Structure 1
Protein backbone atom coordinates (compact mmCIF):
# COMPACT_ATOMS: atom_id res chain seq x y z
CA UNK A 1 0.00 0.00 0.00
CA UNK A 2 1.61 3.23 -1.19
CA UNK A 3 -1.06 5.64 0.00
CA UNK A 4 -0.44 8.31 2.63
CA UNK A 5 -0.36 7.13 6.24
CA UNK A 6 -3.83 7.16 7.73
CA UNK A 7 -5.67 6.35 4.49
CA UNK A 8 -6.64 2.88 5.69
CA UNK A 9 -7.88 4.41 8.94
CA UNK A 10 -9.92 7.05 7.11
CA UNK A 11 -11.51 4.53 4.75
CA UNK A 12 -12.00 2.11 7.65
CA UNK A 13 -13.82 4.60 9.88
CA UNK A 14 -15.92 5.76 6.95
CA UNK A 15 -16.79 2.18 6.01
CA UNK A 16 -17.96 1.41 9.52
CA UNK A 17 -19.81 4.73 9.72
CA UNK A 18 -21.69 3.89 6.52
CA UNK A 19 -22.41 0.32 7.65
CA UNK A 20 -23.69 1.66 10.98
CA UNK A 21 -25.82 4.27 9.21
CA UNK A 22 -27.42 1.54 7.12
CA UNK A 23 -28.17 -0.54 10.21
CA UNK A 24 -29.54 2.35 12.29
CA UNK A 25 -31.62 3.85 9.50
CA UNK A 26 -33.15 0.47 8.73
CA UNK A 27 -33.99 0.05 12.41
CA UNK A 28 -35.48 3.56 12.65
CA UNK A 29 -37.53 2.96 9.51
CA UNK A 30 -39.01 -0.18 11.01
CA UNK A 31 -39.58 1.08 14.56
CA UNK A 32 -40.14 4.83 14.37
CA UNK A 33 -41.43 5.81 10.91
CA UNK A 34 -45.03 7.05 11.30
CA UNK A 35 -46.17 5.98 7.84
CA UNK A 36 -45.37 3.48 5.13
CA UNK A 37 -44.22 6.33 2.89
CA UNK A 38 -41.71 7.46 5.53
CA UNK A 39 -40.57 3.88 6.11
CA UNK A 40 -40.07 3.41 2.38
CA UNK A 41 -38.06 6.61 1.92
CA UNK A 42 -35.81 6.02 4.91
CA UNK A 43 -35.24 2.42 3.82
CA UNK A 44 -34.21 3.67 0.37
CA UNK A 45 -31.75 6.08 1.98
CA UNK A 46 -30.39 3.21 4.07
CA UNK A 47 -29.77 1.20 0.91
CA UNK A 48 -27.76 4.14 -0.47
CA UNK A 49 -25.62 4.11 2.69
CA UNK A 50 -24.94 0.41 2.19
CA UNK A 51 -23.86 1.07 -1.39
CA UNK A 52 -21.37 3.61 -0.04
CA UNK A 53 -20.08 1.01 2.41
CA UNK A 54 -19.48 -1.42 -0.47
CA UNK A 55 -17.47 1.20 -2.39
CA UNK A 56 -15.22 1.74 0.62
CA UNK A 57 -14.88 -1.98 1.29
CA UNK A 58 -13.89 -2.61 -2.32
CA UNK A 59 -11.32 0.20 -2.28
CA UNK A 60 -9.73 -1.15 0.89
CA UNK A 61 -9.50 -4.56 -0.76
CA UNK A 62 -7.81 -2.97 -3.79
CA UNK A 63 -5.29 -1.40 -1.41
CA UNK A 64 -4.54 -4.87 0.04
CA UNK A 65 -6.16 -3.94 3.34
CA UNK A 66 -8.57 -6.29 5.07
CA UNK A 67 -11.81 -4.24 5.39
CA UNK A 68 -12.79 -5.88 8.67
CA UNK A 69 -9.38 -5.13 10.14
CA UNK A 70 -9.59 -1.52 8.93
CA UNK A 71 -13.01 -1.03 10.53
CA UNK A 72 -12.38 -2.83 13.81
CA UNK A 73 -10.57 0.02 15.67
CA UNK A 74 -13.63 2.25 15.26
CA UNK A 75 -16.38 -0.14 16.25
CA UNK A 76 -16.34 0.65 19.96
CA UNK A 77 -16.41 4.43 19.60
CA UNK A 78 -19.07 4.55 16.88
CA UNK A 79 -21.25 1.96 18.60
CA UNK A 80 -20.97 3.93 21.84
CA UNK A 81 -22.08 7.10 20.05
CA UNK A 82 -25.12 5.35 18.60
CA UNK A 83 -25.98 3.80 21.96
CA UNK A 84 -25.71 7.13 23.77
CA UNK A 85 -27.77 8.92 21.13
CA UNK A 86 -30.53 6.42 20.50
CA UNK A 87 -33.54 8.46 19.30
CA UNK A 88 -36.72 8.29 21.32
CA UNK A 89 -39.02 9.23 18.46
CA UNK A 90 -39.22 9.87 14.73
CA UNK A 91 -38.20 13.54 14.82
CA UNK A 92 -35.16 12.78 16.97
CA UNK A 93 -34.15 10.07 14.50
CA UNK A 94 -34.31 12.54 11.61
CA UNK A 95 -32.32 15.21 13.46
CA UNK A 96 -29.68 12.60 14.29
CA UNK A 97 -29.44 11.44 10.67
CA UNK A 98 -29.04 15.02 9.44
CA UNK A 99 -27.25 17.00 12.15
CA UNK A 100 -25.43 14.41 14.25
CA UNK A 101 -24.07 12.36 11.38
CA UNK A 102 -23.46 15.49 9.32
CA UNK A 103 -20.85 17.05 11.59
CA UNK A 104 -18.91 13.78 11.77
CA UNK A 105 -18.86 13.50 7.99
CA UNK A 106 -17.61 17.09 7.75
CA UNK A 107 -14.48 16.05 9.65
CA UNK A 108 -13.85 13.13 7.31
CA UNK A 109 -14.33 15.36 4.28
CA UNK A 110 -11.74 17.81 5.62
CA UNK A 111 -9.28 14.97 6.23
CA UNK A 112 -9.73 13.67 2.69
CA UNK A 113 -8.80 17.03 1.19
CA UNK A 114 -5.17 16.36 2.08
CA UNK A 115 -5.01 13.04 0.23
CA UNK A 116 -4.34 12.11 -3.35
CA UNK A 117 -7.21 12.93 -5.77
CA UNK A 118 -8.62 9.43 -6.21
CA UNK A 119 -9.14 9.04 -2.45
CA UNK A 120 -10.65 12.53 -2.19
CA UNK A 121 -13.03 11.70 -5.04
CA UNK A 122 -14.07 8.44 -3.39
CA UNK A 123 -14.73 10.14 -0.06
CA UNK A 124 -16.78 12.86 -1.76
CA UNK A 125 -18.81 10.16 -3.49
CA UNK A 126 -19.59 8.20 -0.35
CA UNK A 127 -20.42 11.37 1.57
CA UNK A 128 -22.95 12.42 -1.06
CA UNK A 129 -26.22 13.33 0.60
CA UNK A 130 -28.49 11.04 -1.48
CA UNK A 131 -31.58 13.05 -0.48
CA UNK A 132 -31.17 12.62 3.28
CA UNK A 133 -31.08 16.36 3.91
CA UNK A 134 -34.24 17.22 1.99
CA UNK A 135 -36.14 14.36 3.57
CA UNK A 136 -35.07 15.26 7.12
CA UNK A 137 -35.65 18.99 6.69
CA UNK A 138 -39.11 18.52 5.21
CA UNK A 139 -40.27 16.10 7.90
CA UNK A 140 -38.76 18.00 10.86
CA UNK A 141 -40.18 21.33 9.72
CA UNK A 142 -43.60 19.73 9.33
CA UNK A 143 -43.30 18.18 12.77
CA UNK A 144 -42.34 21.46 14.41
CA UNK A 145 -45.15 23.28 12.61
CA UNK A 146 -47.61 20.74 14.00
CA UNK A 147 -46.09 20.90 17.50
CA UNK A 148 -44.12 24.15 18.10
CA UNK A 149 -43.06 22.98 21.56
CA UNK A 150 -40.95 20.31 19.85
CA UNK A 151 -38.56 22.97 18.54
CA UNK A 152 -36.81 23.55 21.87
CA UNK A 153 -36.62 19.85 22.62
CA UNK A 154 -35.08 19.07 19.24
CA UNK A 155 -32.59 21.94 19.52
CA UNK A 156 -31.35 20.50 22.82
CA UNK A 157 -31.19 17.06 21.21
CA UNK A 158 -29.07 18.44 18.34
CA UNK A 159 -26.61 20.02 20.79
CA UNK A 160 -26.32 16.72 22.63
CA UNK A 161 -25.67 14.88 19.36
CA UNK A 162 -22.85 17.22 18.40
CA UNK A 163 -21.30 17.13 21.87
CA UNK A 164 -21.31 13.33 21.89
CA UNK A 165 -19.93 13.20 18.33
CA UNK A 166 -17.03 15.48 19.25
CA UNK A 167 -16.31 13.43 22.37
CA UNK A 168 -16.18 10.19 20.41
CA UNK A 169 -14.10 11.90 17.73
CA UNK A 170 -11.50 12.79 20.35
CA UNK A 171 -11.38 9.15 21.45
CA UNK A 172 -10.83 8.00 17.88
CA UNK A 173 -8.13 10.62 17.27
CA UNK A 174 -6.29 9.62 20.44
CA UNK A 175 -6.40 5.95 19.49
CA UNK A 176 -5.51 6.44 15.80
CA UNK A 177 -2.91 9.22 15.53
CA UNK A 178 -2.37 8.69 11.79
CA UNK A 179 -6.01 9.51 11.17
CA UNK A 180 -5.82 12.57 13.41
CA UNK A 181 -2.70 13.69 11.55
CA UNK A 182 -4.63 13.79 8.27
CA UNK A 183 -6.90 16.44 9.71
CA UNK A 184 -4.14 18.65 11.07
CA UNK A 185 -1.45 17.85 8.53
CA UNK A 186 0.47 21.02 7.64
CA UNK A 187 -1.72 23.14 9.93
CA UNK A 188 -0.54 22.01 13.35
CA UNK A 189 1.46 25.17 13.87
CA UNK A 190 -0.95 27.44 12.06
CA UNK A 191 -3.50 28.71 14.56
CA UNK A 192 -5.29 30.72 11.89
CA UNK A 193 -5.79 27.61 9.76
CA UNK A 194 -7.06 25.61 12.73
CA UNK A 195 -9.46 28.43 13.55
CA UNK A 196 -10.63 28.44 9.92
CA UNK A 197 -11.27 24.72 10.05
CA UNK A 198 -13.43 24.88 13.15
CA UNK A 199 -15.19 27.99 11.90
CA UNK A 200 -16.10 26.11 8.72
CA UNK A 201 -17.40 23.12 10.70
CA UNK A 202 -19.43 25.41 12.95
CA UNK A 203 -20.83 27.25 9.95
CA UNK A 204 -22.00 24.02 8.32
CA UNK A 205 -23.62 22.92 11.56
CA UNK A 206 -25.37 26.29 11.83
CA UNK A 207 -26.69 25.92 8.29
CA UNK A 208 -28.18 22.53 9.11
CA UNK A 209 -29.87 23.85 12.24
CA UNK A 210 -31.26 26.82 10.31
CA UNK A 211 -32.55 24.53 7.58
CA UNK A 212 -34.44 22.53 10.21
CA UNK A 213 -35.86 25.72 11.67
CA UNK A 214 -34.12 25.09 14.98
Structure 2
Protein backbone atom coordinates (compact mmCIF):
# COMPACT_ATOMS: atom_id res chain seq x y z
CA UNK A 1 0.00 0.00 0.00
CA UNK A 2 1.37 3.39 -0.96
CA UNK A 3 1.73 6.14 1.60
CA UNK A 4 2.07 9.89 0.92
CA UNK A 5 5.82 9.51 1.55
CA UNK A 6 6.23 6.60 -0.87
CA UNK A 7 5.38 7.65 -4.43
CA UNK A 8 4.88 5.01 -7.10
CA UNK A 9 7.86 6.43 -8.99
CA UNK A 10 10.14 5.22 -6.20
CA UNK A 11 9.77 1.61 -7.39
CA UNK A 12 13.15 0.16 -8.35
CA UNK A 13 14.02 0.10 -12.04
CA UNK A 14 15.25 -2.98 -13.86
CA UNK A 15 18.94 -3.05 -14.75
CA UNK A 16 20.17 -4.46 -18.04
CA UNK A 17 22.26 -6.87 -15.98
CA UNK A 18 18.99 -8.35 -14.65
CA UNK A 19 17.65 -9.10 -18.14
CA UNK A 20 18.33 -11.90 -20.60
CA UNK A 21 19.29 -11.27 -24.21
CA UNK A 22 15.77 -11.43 -25.62
CA UNK A 23 14.59 -8.67 -23.31
CA UNK A 24 17.71 -6.47 -23.37
CA UNK A 25 18.15 -6.59 -27.15
CA UNK A 26 14.79 -4.88 -27.66
CA UNK A 27 16.81 -1.66 -27.27
CA UNK A 28 18.52 -1.22 -30.66
CA UNK A 29 21.32 0.83 -29.11
CA UNK A 30 22.11 -1.94 -26.65
CA UNK A 31 22.01 -4.53 -29.42
CA UNK A 32 24.47 -2.49 -31.50
CA UNK A 33 26.81 -2.17 -28.50
CA UNK A 34 26.78 -5.92 -27.92
CA UNK A 35 27.43 -6.66 -31.59
CA UNK A 36 30.43 -4.32 -31.42
CA UNK A 37 31.63 -5.96 -28.22
CA UNK A 38 31.33 -9.49 -29.62
CA UNK A 39 33.01 -8.40 -32.85
CA UNK A 40 35.94 -6.87 -30.96
CA UNK A 41 36.29 -9.94 -28.78
CA UNK A 42 36.08 -12.32 -31.74
CA UNK A 43 38.81 -10.53 -33.67
CA UNK A 44 40.90 -10.34 -30.51
CA UNK A 45 40.63 -14.12 -30.06
CA UNK A 46 41.51 -14.73 -33.71
CA UNK A 47 44.54 -12.45 -33.37
CA UNK A 48 45.55 -14.23 -30.15
CA UNK A 49 45.39 -17.57 -31.94
CA UNK A 50 47.62 -16.27 -34.73
CA UNK A 51 50.06 -14.67 -32.30
CA UNK A 52 50.43 -17.77 -30.14
CA UNK A 53 51.00 -19.88 -33.23
CA UNK A 54 53.76 -17.46 -34.27
CA UNK A 55 55.22 -17.38 -30.75
CA UNK A 56 55.43 -21.17 -30.81
CA UNK A 57 58.01 -20.83 -33.57
CA UNK A 58 60.25 -18.89 -31.16
CA UNK A 59 59.93 -21.48 -28.39
CA UNK A 60 63.32 -22.77 -27.20
CA UNK A 61 62.14 -26.36 -26.85
CA UNK A 62 59.57 -28.86 -28.03
CA UNK A 63 57.63 -28.87 -24.73
CA UNK A 64 57.22 -25.09 -24.86
CA UNK A 65 56.17 -25.26 -28.51
CA UNK A 66 53.51 -27.84 -27.69
CA UNK A 67 52.24 -25.81 -24.71
CA UNK A 68 51.75 -22.71 -26.86
CA UNK A 69 50.05 -24.77 -29.57
CA UNK A 70 47.50 -26.01 -27.01
CA UNK A 71 46.86 -22.45 -25.87
CA UNK A 72 46.43 -21.31 -29.47
CA UNK A 73 43.84 -24.05 -29.99
CA UNK A 74 41.92 -22.85 -26.91
CA UNK A 75 41.89 -19.28 -28.25
CA UNK A 76 40.47 -20.51 -31.56
CA UNK A 77 37.71 -22.35 -29.70
CA UNK A 78 36.81 -19.06 -28.02
CA UNK A 79 36.76 -17.39 -31.43
CA UNK A 80 34.34 -20.02 -32.72
CA UNK A 81 32.06 -19.57 -29.71
CA UNK A 82 31.84 -15.84 -30.35
CA UNK A 83 31.22 -16.16 -34.08
CA UNK A 84 28.59 -18.82 -33.44
CA UNK A 85 26.82 -16.44 -31.07
CA UNK A 86 26.93 -13.63 -33.62
CA UNK A 87 25.35 -15.88 -36.22
CA UNK A 88 22.81 -16.97 -33.62
CA UNK A 89 21.60 -13.37 -33.23
CA UNK A 90 21.50 -12.92 -37.02
CA UNK A 91 24.72 -10.95 -37.34
CA UNK A 92 27.49 -11.66 -39.84
CA UNK A 93 30.71 -12.30 -37.87
CA UNK A 94 33.02 -10.84 -40.50
CA UNK A 95 31.04 -7.59 -40.61
CA UNK A 96 31.03 -7.39 -36.81
CA UNK A 97 34.81 -7.92 -36.61
CA UNK A 98 35.78 -5.65 -39.51
CA UNK A 99 35.79 -2.31 -37.59
CA UNK A 100 38.29 -3.71 -35.09
CA UNK A 101 40.73 -5.40 -37.44
CA UNK A 102 42.79 -2.34 -38.34
CA UNK A 103 43.28 -0.93 -34.81
CA UNK A 104 44.12 -4.34 -33.34
CA UNK A 105 46.49 -5.11 -36.20
CA UNK A 106 48.14 -1.74 -35.63
CA UNK A 107 48.57 -2.50 -31.93
CA UNK A 108 50.25 -5.80 -32.76
CA UNK A 109 52.45 -4.10 -35.37
CA UNK A 110 53.62 -1.51 -32.84
CA UNK A 111 54.28 -4.14 -30.18
CA UNK A 112 55.90 -6.92 -32.18
CA UNK A 113 58.18 -8.83 -29.75
CA UNK A 114 61.84 -9.21 -30.65
CA UNK A 115 62.30 -12.52 -28.86
CA UNK A 116 60.64 -15.37 -26.95
CA UNK A 117 60.55 -13.60 -23.58
CA UNK A 118 59.09 -10.39 -24.98
CA UNK A 119 56.41 -12.48 -26.64
CA UNK A 120 55.53 -14.11 -23.32
CA UNK A 121 55.36 -10.77 -21.52
CA UNK A 122 53.22 -9.31 -24.29
CA UNK A 123 50.69 -12.12 -24.13
CA UNK A 124 50.60 -12.01 -20.33
CA UNK A 125 50.36 -8.22 -20.00
CA UNK A 126 48.44 -7.31 -23.15
CA UNK A 127 45.86 -10.08 -22.95
CA UNK A 128 45.30 -9.46 -19.25
CA UNK A 129 44.67 -5.74 -19.75
CA UNK A 130 42.12 -6.53 -22.46
CA UNK A 131 40.48 -9.17 -20.27
CA UNK A 132 40.26 -6.74 -17.34
CA UNK A 133 38.54 -4.20 -19.59
CA UNK A 134 36.03 -6.70 -20.95
CA UNK A 135 35.25 -8.03 -17.47
CA UNK A 136 34.43 -4.49 -16.39
CA UNK A 137 32.04 -4.17 -19.32
CA UNK A 138 30.57 -7.63 -18.70
CA UNK A 139 29.18 -6.56 -15.34
CA UNK A 140 26.73 -4.32 -17.24
CA UNK A 141 25.64 -6.87 -19.86
CA UNK A 142 22.53 -9.00 -20.00
CA UNK A 143 22.85 -12.40 -18.33
CA UNK A 144 23.23 -14.42 -21.55
CA UNK A 145 25.91 -12.19 -23.09
CA UNK A 146 27.71 -11.81 -19.77
CA UNK A 147 27.99 -15.59 -19.40
CA UNK A 148 29.47 -15.92 -22.88
CA UNK A 149 31.94 -13.06 -22.45
CA UNK A 150 33.21 -14.28 -19.08
CA UNK A 151 33.55 -17.79 -20.49
CA UNK A 152 35.77 -16.76 -23.40
CA UNK A 153 37.89 -14.64 -21.06
CA UNK A 154 38.89 -17.71 -19.06
CA UNK A 155 42.66 -18.11 -18.89
CA UNK A 156 43.93 -20.73 -21.34
CA UNK A 157 46.92 -21.43 -19.10
CA UNK A 158 49.12 -18.77 -20.65
CA UNK A 159 49.33 -16.64 -17.50
CA UNK A 160 50.95 -19.27 -15.26
CA UNK A 161 53.10 -20.47 -18.17
CA UNK A 162 54.40 -16.94 -18.86
CA UNK A 163 55.05 -16.21 -15.18
CA UNK A 164 57.03 -19.41 -14.72
CA UNK A 165 59.17 -18.91 -17.82
CA UNK A 166 59.85 -15.20 -17.29
CA UNK A 167 60.69 -15.56 -13.60
CA UNK A 168 63.06 -18.43 -14.36
CA UNK A 169 64.77 -16.40 -17.09
CA UNK A 170 65.24 -13.38 -14.79
CA UNK A 171 66.56 -15.58 -11.99
CA UNK A 172 69.13 -16.97 -14.40
CA UNK A 173 70.04 -13.54 -15.79
CA UNK A 174 68.87 -10.58 -13.63
CA UNK A 175 69.88 -8.13 -16.36
CA UNK A 176 66.79 -9.19 -18.28
CA UNK A 177 64.56 -7.60 -15.66
CA UNK A 178 65.17 -4.00 -16.69
CA UNK A 179 64.58 -4.63 -20.38
CA UNK A 180 61.41 -6.63 -19.81
CA UNK A 181 60.07 -4.06 -17.32
CA UNK A 182 60.46 -1.30 -19.92
CA UNK A 183 58.77 -3.53 -22.49
CA UNK A 184 55.83 -4.20 -20.17
CA UNK A 185 55.36 -0.48 -19.50
CA UNK A 186 55.30 0.18 -23.23
CA UNK A 187 52.71 -2.56 -23.68
CA UNK A 188 50.55 -1.06 -20.94
CA UNK A 189 50.56 2.35 -22.59
CA UNK A 190 49.85 1.03 -26.07
CA UNK A 191 47.08 -1.29 -24.84
CA UNK A 192 45.23 1.47 -22.98
CA UNK A 193 45.61 3.91 -25.88
CA UNK A 194 44.31 1.31 -28.32
CA UNK A 195 41.31 0.51 -26.11
CA UNK A 196 40.44 4.19 -25.76
CA UNK A 197 40.68 4.74 -29.53
CA UNK A 198 38.43 1.79 -30.30
CA UNK A 199 35.77 2.91 -27.85
CA UNK A 200 35.93 6.52 -29.05
CA UNK A 201 35.42 5.42 -32.65
CA UNK A 202 32.38 3.25 -31.89
CA UNK A 203 29.36 5.25 -30.72
CA UNK A 204 27.50 2.22 -29.37
CA UNK A 205 30.41 1.09 -27.21
CA UNK A 206 31.16 4.57 -25.90
CA UNK A 207 27.49 5.07 -25.01
CA UNK A 208 27.51 1.75 -23.17
CA UNK A 209 30.47 2.85 -21.08
CA UNK A 210 29.37 6.39 -20.18
CA UNK A 211 25.70 5.55 -19.66
CA UNK A 212 22.55 5.61 -21.71
CA UNK A 213 22.56 2.00 -22.89
CA UNK A 214 23.93 -0.18 -20.11
CA UNK A 215 23.03 1.75 -17.02
CA UNK A 216 25.34 2.63 -14.22
CA UNK A 217 28.56 3.82 -15.91
CA UNK A 218 29.44 7.50 -15.83
CA UNK A 219 32.54 9.46 -16.66
CA UNK A 220 33.83 9.31 -13.08
CA UNK A 221 33.37 5.53 -13.10
CA UNK A 222 35.36 5.32 -16.33
CA UNK A 223 38.28 6.92 -14.51
CA UNK A 224 37.92 4.49 -11.62
CA UNK A 225 37.71 1.59 -14.06
CA UNK A 226 41.03 2.46 -15.70
CA UNK A 227 42.55 2.92 -12.23
CA UNK A 228 41.49 -0.62 -11.34
CA UNK A 229 42.98 -1.93 -14.57
CA UNK A 230 46.25 -0.11 -13.81
CA UNK A 231 46.34 -1.55 -10.28
CA UNK A 232 45.82 -5.07 -11.64
CA UNK A 233 48.68 -4.48 -14.08
CA UNK A 234 50.97 -3.49 -11.20
CA UNK A 235 50.16 -6.76 -9.42
CA UNK A 236 50.89 -8.78 -12.56
CA UNK A 237 54.23 -7.02 -12.94
CA UNK A 238 55.09 -8.04 -9.39
CA UNK A 239 54.16 -11.64 -10.22
CA UNK A 240 56.73 -11.49 -13.03
CA UNK A 241 59.37 -10.11 -10.65
CA UNK A 242 59.30 -6.86 -12.61
CA UNK A 243 58.80 -3.37 -11.22
CA UNK A 244 55.78 -1.53 -12.60
The alignment's TM-score, normalised by the length of structure 1, stands at: 0.94
1:15 aligns with 2:45: no
Counterpart pick for 1:91 among 92, 117, 127: 117
Other-structure match for 1:123? 149
Offset from partner CA, 1:23-51 (integer Å, 9 cap, x none):
01101101x11111110001100100000
For the pair 1:63 / 2:63, whether they are aligned, the reply is: no
> Could you say which residue in structure 2 is the equivalent of 1:181?
207
Asked if the contact 1:112–1:182 (Cα under 8 Å) also holds between the matched residues in 2, the reply is no
Q: What is the distance in 1 between the residues matched to 2:132 and 2:109?
A: 21
SS, match of residue 140 in structure 2: coil
TM-superposed CA distance for 1:127, in Å, is 0.4
Stretch deviating more after TM superposition (3-12 or 165-174): 165-174
State the 1:14 CA deviation: 0.2
Which residue, 162, 169, 172 being the options, matches 1:143?
169
2:114 is paired with a residue whose SS is: coil
Residue 194 of structure 1 pairs with residue 222 of structure 2: yes
Structure 2: which 5+ runs fail to align? 1-21
Q: Secondary structure at the match of 1:148?
A: coil
- Distance in 1, matches of 2:156 and 2:81, equals 15
Question: What's the CA shift string for 1:115-173, capped at 9, x where partnerless?
Answer: 10111111110000021111000000001111101101001000111111112112211
Matched, 1:34 2:34: no
2:140 to 114, 134, 138: 114
Q: Does the aligned pair in 2 maintain the 1:60–1:67 contact within 8 Å?
A: yes
Where does the alignment leave 5 or more consecutive residues of structure 1 unmatched? Answer: none
Counterpart secondary structure, 2:41: helix
Length-normalised TM-score, structure 2: 0.83
> Which has the larger Rg?
2
Deviation by residue 1:40-85 (Cα, 9 ceiling, x = unmatched): 0011001000000000000000010000000000000000000110
Number of residue equivalences: 211
CA contact (8 A) 1:106 1:201 kept: yes
Which stretch shows the higher mean deviation, 128-137 or 11-20? 128-137
Higher deviation after alignment, 144-153 or 163-172: 163-172
CA-CA distance at 1:182 after TM superposition: 2.3
Match of 2:15 in 1: none
